[in-house]
Chain A
Amino acid sequence: MIDWLLALAQTLLFISMAPFLLGWIKRVKCHAQNRAAPSLWQPYRDLVKLFRKHTVLAERASWIFRATPYIVFGAIVLAASVVPLVALDLPNAAIADVIVLVAFFSLARCFTALAAMDIGTAFGGMGSSRDMMIGALAEPALLMAVFTMAMSASTTNLTEAVTYTLNSGLVLRPSFIFAMLGLMMVAVAETGRVPVDNPATHLELTMVHEAMILEYSGRHLALIEWADQIQLMIYMVLIANIFFPWGIATQLTANDLALSLVAITAKLMLLGVLLVIWETVMAKMRLFRVPQFLGFAFLLSLLGMLTHVILETGG
């Protein structure tokens, strides 16, 4: 029972940390680009503001449009709950393995894309079509990266995989490096960051994700934005904890948990800085360059897989 409570606490911690992570990224990005930086708490303020606002719905919006924010939020929060953030061996990790995790993202994306088509504006259709294209190319790359990890650890259970990396010590695995690079590129694409999409723009020709949620307002918009922040954090936690799991609590003692919390915060902040550097030096790509970008990610993941099969199993 205490396990399940801890799992619940970890999930709540996860979703409440997500806006902070975004605030951190925005702040560092502003500093890096010599702009005045907003407060770290700005994303929380934005969410609160949106939650308080009245919702305006388009006249033609059907129930799909109204249900989508809740379904997306539900799927993403559940996804966050199965990712080991500070503690391993929590019982809820067994609910869904990493393939199911990918499917949660897919569920959220499909519903967002459907809601975008619901109003019948050109923007919605455009965003929906583009996002499904990006998703269709990103998902296999993501799964390949995940498969590489799953084959090395011979499990798709995230807790088991993290334990495997912990136990095998600091060894250099070419397959993991390839998989990590692939995963990072996919993360950039899936969370709509530069160079695939730009979360800060509302320019007709370039926006993808923003075009889909253009008609949302009020608490619906808040839920979707929050879900996006959680999704970004899920990717970062995955990268941090699968490839660099050191520090995560293997025993459920207060000491270990506190240490683990510090460790994951440090790792996430570091990854945030990396993302900022990446976004600052890269320029946004044309839409039809994105397949090449994702094809490269897929190739990297596939290479990782083949490296594992050929070099590391050593049959």
Chain B
Amino acid sequence: MSPLILAYLALASALASGVLALGADRYPNLLRYGSSLLLGFCGLFAILAGSWALIDETHSTDQLALGLPWLKWHLRIDPLSGFFFSIVGVLVLAISLYAPGYLREFTHQGHRQSLSVLGLFTGLFIFGMLLVLLADDAFVFMISWELMSVSSYFLVAYQHEHAANRRAAFLYLLMAHVGGLAILLGFGVLAGFSGSYTFDAMRAMELSPTWASIAFALAFFGFGMKAGMVPLHAWLPEAHPVAPSHISALMSGVMIKVAIYGLIRFVYDLVGDIQWQWGLVLLIVGATSTLLGVLYALLRNNLKRLLAYSSIENVGIIFCGLGLSMIFIGTGHTVLGVLGLMAALYHILSHALFKGLLFLGAGAIAHATYEYDLNNMGGLIRRMPQTAVFFLIGCLSISGLPALNGFVSEWLTFQTALQAPVLASGVLRSIIPVAAAVLALSAALAAACFVKVYGVAFLGMARSRRVARAREVDIGMRAGMGLLAVLCVVFGIFPSTVISIIDAVPMMLLGHGAPSASAHGWLWLTPVSPKVASYSAPLVFFAILVIALISYLLLRGEAAKIRRGPAWDCGFGSLNSRMQYTGTAYSMPIQRIFAPVWDIKEDVEETRNAVQPLQTDGIRHQLQALDKSWSRLYEPIGSLVLAAARRIGRIQTGSIHTYLAYSFFTLILLLWVVT
């Protein structure tokens, strides 16, 4: 018995859930209960397999007689893949609880899309993600990577009756393949020098610094594109939100983590010889992604799209952690490199949990109200009290507030950045603090962003009738969100324990753990040494609780009576829900300050009174804040490609003879090149 057996069981359950769903068009319950049950098993097995590999600090390998005649499938589970395996497992488990309730509306009469398609590709998508994590040669890696991309394409395109969704799906497929091509070429460089596609051979080989940098650049481009780094990110907020919400949770919560897994595996494990310049690139791209991601998120009013933009921000934070780690490793400070890697890994874990939770929450709101637009929500805390609690935990975590999990990773990233004075290069010493400043700004903006989300959606008064009549979602959906919410709290309160477990990953990759981080027991987190910095999440959590409780108890008594009365309306009479701040109004100050970041189109139409021209009858206000990467990057490249295609199109005569001649001459040319 080894972790691999459990991993196989997880793979098999994912595949079986997809296959079982084939009958869902006739028997919808097959998808809602059968497939979900199998996904639950898949999640459990994945968690078990992953944590086993992680705790045991061993790796087990296997070869399957599949694939090419001369290249069997090499599979392997080690602490690094085990870590990601568990994360995928947790999310899949939450989804399996959530899906039966969420999918109910999809099974209603008159729903036009095929349920079989949804179930099949969900299964295949999870299968693909898990297989990527197990791959131990470039061939399996690419096969499963493509399986993951293509099956998720069908999920993005699932609600294809809207033209916007079709366009998003096409863009997604296109970008996935441009990225996939870069990854393939990156593996090509490694395989070309090692003479084999297996990861073992790639690990064993030494690359010249130039070729290593080329391989890094290709891998960074490919994996970074999938992870949604700025400026290549524009496809992500189009594609992730249009899938059904539990799929969005998987895509934003774990699929982009799989891309980051690819990057870590490629750079730390396969290439191995890390240069600090790579870290600098990662740090700069990461800091830019963080700031732009959160600013773009702030101005969105579509909840799911806002969450997708915030994923870009969080990928930026992860990149910053990895970048710091590479800078320190490349300059010979391995211990600090471990710290940076740890910060990145912790944020990967945190982000998977809270972003999954928030997407499931958005799905729950949509399920109860059919609304995605924040400006139509409001007051949901009274209609959906439990969802409101879970969503609040997600919002507080993502805002990086103590003592929840988002704060731990942010704190670790700051601690790593503060070690910059050990570096010899003055440029690095001054760039790293600036990057830390950008991170601080983004963290504060993220807090503003999620206060806006929570305040507008859950607090105040309902802004539309459907929202005013919302009902709490069923127990399964609440359980799915509850699981993730509880984990957010647990991973926030016990960081030292978690870190001593994750320690196996840097141990395997760099031969060095971070023993000092948890050296002072489960109560204390001391990344470098207790003199430099310490944080005790359990004590913080309980101290705040105790102080709040004491003040509450002391103030009970005669004076504690509470009278309810109407809110202050300045004496003008009934307040209504249209007088509240909307999402747009809430973010207006920040929009004004950072105006150059967006392409802002503001349109004000004023209708004057015909009789008295000084009197205004009505005002129409339209505000569009567009992502600049569309007009600056995507559209120019798009029109360039179109123009090039038009030129090349000239050689397409439409006659078979010409095409045969082309093939013939190409063959001759190739033969000449080869010989």
Contacts and interface: CB of A to CB of B under 8 A. Distances in A.
Nearest to A153: B532
B396 A54 contact: no
Q: Tell me if B's interface is mostly helix, strand, loop or mixed.
A: helix
B643 interface: no
Interface in A98-147: 99-100, 103-104, 106-107, 109-110, 113-114, 116-126, 128-130, 132-133, 135-140, 143-144, 147
A106 B381 CA distance: 22
A62 B382 contact: yes
Contact of B455 (A94, A113, A130): A113
A117 B460 contact: yes
28 contacts: A51-B559, A52-B559, A54-B562, A55-B561, A56-B565, A58-B564, A60-B382, A60-B460, A61-B564, A62-B382, A62-B459, A81-B543, A94-B534, A99-B411, A100-B411, A106-B399, A116-B455, A120-B378, A123-B568, A125-B455, A128-B451, A129-B588, A137-B444, A140-B440, A143-B437, A156-B415, A156-B532, A215-B567
Nearest to B567: A58
A174 interface: no
A120 B438 CA distance: 33
A144 B539 CA distance: 26
Contacts of A106: 399-401, 444, 447
Contacts of A100: 402, 411, 535, 540
Interface string B545-562: 111110110010001111
B381 A64 contact: yes
A113 B399 CA distance: 13
A133 B444 CA distance: 9
A62 B9 CA distance: 46
B544 A71 contact: yes
Contacts of A75: 544
Given A54-B559, A137-B593, 10 more contacts: A64-B392, A73-B548, A74-B543, A95-B536, A107-B402, A136-B444, A140-B440, A147-B436, A298-B437, A315-B426
Given A51-B559, A117-B581, A120-B567, A133 B448 contact: yes
Interface centre among B444, B544, B565 (most CB of A within 10 A): B444
Interface of A: 51-64, 67, 70-71, 73-75, 77-78, 81, 94-97, 99-100, 103-104, 106-107, 109-110, 113-114, 116-126, 128-130, 132-133, 135-140, 143-144, 147, 150-151, 154-157, 160, 214-215, 218-219, 223, 287-288, 291, 298, 302, 305-306, 309-310, 313, 315
Contacts of B418: 147, 150-151, 156
Contacts of B579: 120-122
A302 B426 contact: no
A77 B436 CA distance: 27
A288 B593 CA distance: 8
B429 A313 contact: yes
Contacts of B448: 132-133, 135-136
Nearest to B431: A309
A118 B562 contact: no
A77 B437 contact: no
A230 to B, nearest CB: 11
Contacts of A113: 451, 455
Contacts of A143: 414, 436-437, 440
B420 interface: yes
B196 to A, nearest CB: 44
A151 B433 contact: yes
Interface string B144-175: 00000000000000000000000000000000
Contacts of A94: 524, 530, 534, 536
Interface string B410-437: 0100110010110010100110011011
Contacts of A122: 579-581
Nearest to B429: A309
Nearest to B530: A94
